[in-house]
Structure 1
Amino acid sequence: MKVEISSNGKTATFQLYDTAAAREFYNQLPLELDLTNFRDAQWMFYPPEKLNVKANEAYHDGKKGELSYYAPWGDVFMLYKDFYAGDEMHRLGIGLSGVDDIAAMSGSAVIRKMEPLAEEKEQTMQITVTANGSAIVYELNDSQASKDLYAQLPLEIEVENYGSNEKIFYPPKKLNTSNTPLVKGAQPGTLAYYAPWADVVMFYGSFGSASGLYELGHAVKGTERIRSLGGTIRIEAGSSR
């Protein structure tokens, strides 16, 4: 994920890290927002939606060229000088170009996604679900609900049994089902979202369809392991090795 920030005739580009907060920021783009200077070391702006940060990803010593997030204020900031903060900050990405131009920015900024390379466009979203040494890899479709789930990763969450053919879990944030296909016939390995309950469903048996049941993707590895999932599972972006 790469982003471009332009202001006052200056442009800087950043490579985002593979964190939930960075993905949530990326999914809000493009944006045009006012810039505010802070302590002559950073330009900051406020994305419309706050980002979910992890305590173990916090830091205090900011370096020139970093793109970061300060959760108490809900601001994203670009450092054009090294900066130490007593409070915890969270890195979103690192500057690729134009770092020396950040200081000259002012007024408003346009923040947009950089066009991915052709080979990057062809890549699909994959997630890995692990528990008790077992891993299941799912390939997600290109729906908004799938993107919303992907943006919340990584997650450690309790999985529950439901009926005789599915395991379910409840992501922290509800998924937007616009542009998301309904399940027409669930099969072992189908990954779905049941909007009325806001739960994600991992099918290990056939089901059919239901009102409000949306398709997110399908298992490409480990379908036979879904049945044995229990307790706390970990869900991460990407496939297992």
Structure 2
Amino acid sequence: MKIRISIDGTPVDATLNSSAAAQDFAAHLPLTLRLTDFHQNEKIADLPRRLSTSGAPSGVHPRTGDLAFYVPWGNLALYYRDGSPSPGTDLIILGHMPESATEPLAENDEVSVTIEDAS
């Protein structure tokens, strides 16, 4: 599924994968969130409710541009740098945006994003 992420007003095209969590996330759209920095490699924000974890793979390694759901906290993460491997099912990759679009995430401590369906 194609989505559009506006980062502080700048639109970026991204794609959600076909996982149950990504489909559940798509049902939340449009969504506006205030993201804050976490570990100097990702921006995070709480979601209105937890996403489905059905069929979630075990062990993922988030990369620059990944959109992910962190299960224990119920939040969305947008990676602007590669993250640490997650050996269990705590992290679910939802989709990806171009690495070139992550610069505003790296430059600011907080950003406002609006995520919407772009199909």
Post-superposition shift, 1:194? 0.6
| Alignment size in residue pairs | 115
Give the AA of the match of 2:75. D
Q: Does 1:232 align with 2:112?
A: yes
Tell me the TM-score normalised to structure 2 length: 0.83
Higher relative contact order (CA 8 A, sep 6+): 2
Aligned equivalents of 1:148, 1:128: Cα separation in 2 = 16
Matched residues, percent identical?
Answer: 32
Gaps of 5+ in 2: none
SS of 1:234's equivalent in the other structure is strand
Aligned equivalents of 2:54, 2:117: Cα separation in 1 = 22
Aligned equivalents of 2:107, 2:11: Cα separation in 1 = 11
Post-superposition shift, 1:209? 1.6
Higher radius of gyration, 1 or 2: 1
Which residue of structure 2 lines up, in the alignment, with residue 219 of structure 1?
Answer: 97
Tell me the TM-score normalised to structure 1 length: 0.44
Aligned equivalents of 2:97, 2:10: Cα separation in 1 = 13
Say if 1:182 and 1:129 are closer, same or farther in 2 by CA, change over 3 A: farther
Which residue of structure 2 lines up, in the alignment, with residue 126 of structure 1?
Answer: 2
Higher strand share: 1
Gaps of 5+ in 1: 1-124
Q: Does 1:173 align with 2:52?
A: no
Q: Pairwise CA RMSD of aligned residues?
A: 2.0
Deviations 1:126-170 (A, max 9, x none): 222213232232211100100011001001122111111000122
